[in-house]
Amino acid sequence: MTKTRVLDAAVVVALVLYPLLLPGYLDLGTRMIVMALFAMSLDLLVGYCGLVTLGHAAFFGVGAYSAGILAIRASADPLTGLLAGGVAAAILGLLAGTVLLRSRRLTLIMLTLATVLIVQETANRMNWLTGGADGLQGIDMDPVLGRFAFDLFGRVGYVYAAAVLALGFLVFRAVVDSNFGKSLVGIRENEPRMRAIGAPVDTRLRIAFVMSAALAGIAGALQAQVTEFVSLNAVSVEFSGEILIMLILGGAGRRYGAFLGAPLYVFMQDYLAKEDPANWYLWIGAMLMAIVLFAPGGLTKWIGALVGRATHASPLPGRS
Amino acid sequence: MADLLEIAGVTAGYGATVILEDVTAAVKQGEALAVLGRNGVGKTTLMRTMAGHTTLHRGRIALDGRDVAALPSWKRARLGIGLVPQEREVFPSLTVLENITVATGLHRRSGEAAKAWSIERIFELFPPLADRRTNLGTQLSGGEQQMLSIGRALALQPKILLLDEPFEGLAPTIVETLVAVFQELRRAGLSIVLTEQHARLALEMTDNAVALVRGRIVVRDSSAALLRDPQALEDVLTVRG
């Protein structure tokens, strides 16, 4: 318990220190935060339930479009937009989950892939509403809480995103630490056994799916608000794959995986795009391969093992 | 006394494959029934069919007079059929305590202490588990895993416990411990179905027995009667035809 308390606090400290140490890179930091939130939502499915999906951007995108369209046509209040993005994605999650969760493994992956393609094509066709291939433009957000207007340097955007991520993490933490969260791990490890000991597996997976979709939708809404733009890429297969890579880099099913993987990926992407714009994907690929081969379980697991070795942790660590 | 668990004319298996044919058996309140037979005759399938993990082709399965054949396995578990599988199947990433509480949230239920099987009662029954309550499932010995698997089933507040070869692969002292636990469960009024390849041990622990050959019941008698003539039982079990 104390160890996780310290690390939870470290997450908050990192969020506070970043703008103080790198005040010139607030936009990059904001992007890291949005991706961390999105990766965290995916972790609920991939890491905890053991359901691999290649279509999670469907929920991110629907959240982004909902918040963006709402801002243009009705209310530009940021918090209302977040709520709208979360609810819209949750509704899609409920519908999609009902169909998708009948399958597992490869079939599930294929169906999630199909889902994101359908959502993307729908967004493309409805260009009167979404801007289609040109993207959704003309978003102009009101000040946060009616007081803090988004500024050119991205200061308010950063603080706003950091606050949303911190709240999202509180929810995520409460879920994975709860008995419900433990039962998701049980389902991942042995689904028939969970049924045999009286757990309504289908209901619990559906709830997790909707939660994950809602969180992804909020991340999408956040992105739409801080960048004041939504492109079709937000609902793409490529983006769904990218977020999965971020999660795997950090470590799926591990409390801090999203917090490590997403910022690292975003940083590498930014750095490599400047240093070696022609081949940056190659380096990302090499990095992913190195992690999978030399640090299976992601960076968080690898670091955890290093620290464990350094401090000579007892050979049979219980969880306390 | 009325039957607690009753299966009648049951034909079941996995998908289209039929393993059990026309099996009828019943367990009364507080009764212990042994299911005997060699490897591969359908003992495990019979247990799994009672718990709802197989394909039921024909027949009736009732708990307390209520037809449960159409219910999914988790609902049957909630109604009181607790299956302890042969492979134990503890969750490796969960602690001992979490393994017990994960499905039912036992620790949070109101009036937990009033339940027949509270966490404390389960730990009293298995003191080694109490000492290891924060250990992960992977850090247990075989005997401890079996205890955990039984404890996890007790968290359901079961009316009947289905124990599938609970002694397999365990050291004799652990088997003794588990036999003592078994007697205590019986004293608590729990009905039990026990499969076991070693007929003598199973018969000494139970009231009645059925023996399976090729998915059919070929012997049905009191355990005491079968114990008196083990050779006859042996002959039946090894019969080929």
3-state SS class at B172: helix
> Please, which pLDDT band fits residue A238 given cuts at 50, 70 and 90?
very high
Mean predicted confidence (pLDDT) in B16-36: 94
Nearby residues of A74 by Cβ (< 8 Å), 6 or more positions away: none
Cβ of B95 within 8 Å of Cβ of A201? The answer is no
Q: Which residues pair with B163 in a beta bridge?
A: B84, B194
Contact indicator for B209, B35 with CB cutoff of 8 Å:
yes
Provide the pLDDT for residue B43: 92
pLDDT in tens, B150-209: 999 999 999 999 999 999 889 999 999 999 999 999 999 999 999 988 889 999 999 999
Cβ of A199 within 8 Å of Cβ of B74? The answer is yes
Which own/partner contact pairs does A19-25 have at CB distance under 8 Å and 24+ positions apart? A19/A155, A19/A158, A19/A159
Residue of chain A whose Cα is closest to the Cα of B75:
A198
- Neighboring chain A residues of B78 at a CB cutoff of 8 Å: 198
Contact indicator for A197, B156 with CB cutoff of 8 Å:
yes
Pairing of strands B191-196, B32-36: parallel
Q: What is the CATH number of the domain that holds B178?
A: 3.40.50.300
Does residue B148 sit within a domain? no
The per-residue pLDDT of chain A, averaged, comes to 90
Does residue B230 sit within a domain? yes
To test the contact with chain A by mutation, choose from B63, B68, B71, B74 the residue with the greatest count of A C-beta atoms within 10 A, namely B74
Does residue B109 sit within a domain? no
Inform me whether the C-beta atom of residue B169 falls under 8 Å from chain A C-beta atoms: no
Could you say which of B83, B98, B139 has the minimum Cβ distance to residue A196?
B83
Contact indicator for A280, A269 with CB cutoff of 8 Å:
yes
Does residue B142 sit within a domain? no
Burial degree of A154 (CB within 10 A; 0-12, 13-18, 19+): buried
Provide the pLDDT for residue A151: 87
Cβ of B156 within 8 Å of Cβ of A198? The answer is yes
pTM comes to 0.86
> Please, which pLDDT band fits residue A288 given cuts at 50, 70 and 90?
confident
Chain B residues 107-126 with CB within 8 Å of chain A:
107-108
Per-residue pLDDT at A318 exceeds 50:
no
Could you say which of A179, A190, A316 has the minimum Cβ distance to residue B108?
A179
Does residue B42 sit within a domain? yes
Q: Any idea which of A98-107, A295-304, B141-150 has the lowest mean pLDDT? A: A295-304
Provide the pLDDT for residue B241: 45
> Please, which pLDDT band fits residue A69 given cuts at 50, 70 and 90?
very high
Residue B228, phi then psi, degrees to nearest 5: -70, -25
Cβ of A320 within 8 Å of Cβ of B134? The answer is yes
Pairing of strands B3-14, B17-28: antiparallel
Provide the pLDDT for residue B237: 81
Does residue B167 sit within a domain? yes
Gap from B55 CA to chain A (nearest CA, Å): 14
Helix A237-250 / helix A105-125 crossing angle, nearest 10 deg: 130
Inform me whether the C-beta atom of residue B103 falls under 8 Å from chain A C-beta atoms: yes
* Rounded Cα–Cα distance for residues A3 and A14 (Å): 17
Does residue B92 sit within a domain? no
Q: What type of residue is A8? A: D
Residue of chain B whose Cα is closest to the Cα of A198:
B74
CB-facing half-sphere around the CA of A236: CA atoms within 13 A: 11
- Neighboring chain B residues of A195 at a CB cutoff of 8 Å: 53, 72-74, 77
Residue of chain A whose Cα is closest to the Cα of B86:
A193
Could you say which of A189, A196, A319 has the minimum Cβ distance to residue B134?
A319
- Neighboring chain A residues of B72 at a CB cutoff of 8 Å: 195
Domain count, chain B: 1
Chain A residues 145-184 with CB within 8 Å of chain B:
179, 182-183
Provide the pLDDT for residue B110: 56
> Please, which pLDDT band fits residue A302 given cuts at 50, 70 and 90?
confident
Per-residue pLDDT at A183 exceeds 50:
yes
Inform me whether the C-beta atom of residue B157 falls under 8 Å from chain A C-beta atoms: no
- Neighboring chain A residues of B134 at a CB cutoff of 8 Å: 318-320
Gap from A287 CA to chain B (nearest CA, Å): 28
Domains belonging to chain A, first-starting first, are 2-310 (1.10.3470)
* Rounded Cα–Cα distance for residues B103 and A6 (Å): 29
Provide the pLDDT for residue A1: 52
- Neighboring chain A residues of B139 at a CB cutoff of 8 Å: 316, 318
Provide the pLDDT for residue A319: 47
Nearby residues of A61 by Cβ (< 8 Å), 6 or more positions away: A116, A119, A120, A123, A220, A230, A234, A235, A236, A239
Which stretches of B15-109 are assigned E, i.e. beta strand? 17-28, 32-36, 55-63, 66-67, 81-84
Per-residue pLDDT at B106 exceeds 80:
no
CA A188 → CA A59, A263, A300, B104, distances in Å? Answer: 22, 27, 20, 17
> Please, which pLDDT band fits residue A23 given cuts at 50, 70 and 90?
confident
Cβ of B156 within 8 Å of Cβ of A193? The answer is no
Could you say which of B92, B103, B108 has the minimum Cβ distance to residue A194?
B103
Per-residue pLDDT at B35 exceeds 80:
yes
Could you say which of B74, B83, B102 has the minimum Cβ distance to residue A186?
B102
Mean predicted confidence (pLDDT) in A55-81: 94
Inform me whether the C-beta atom of residue B139 falls under 8 Å from chain A C-beta atoms: yes
Inform me whether the C-beta atom of residue A189 falls under 8 Å from chain B C-beta atoms: yes
Mean predicted confidence (pLDDT) in B110-129: 81
Gap from B235 CA to chain A (nearest CA, Å): 35
Inform me whether the C-beta atom of residue B141 falls under 8 Å from chain A C-beta atoms: no
Gap from A41 CA to chain B (nearest CA, Å): 21
Cβ of A192 within 8 Å of Cβ of B53? The answer is yes
The domain in which residue B53 lies consists of 3-86+159-237
Provide the pLDDT for residue A293: 87
Residue of chain A whose Cα is closest to the Cα of B48:
A196
Inform me whether the C-beta atom of residue A315 falls under 8 Å from chain B C-beta atoms: no
Per-residue pLDDT at A39 exceeds 70:
yes
Closest CA to B206 of B6, B39, B35, B24: B35
Does residue B185 sit within a domain? yes
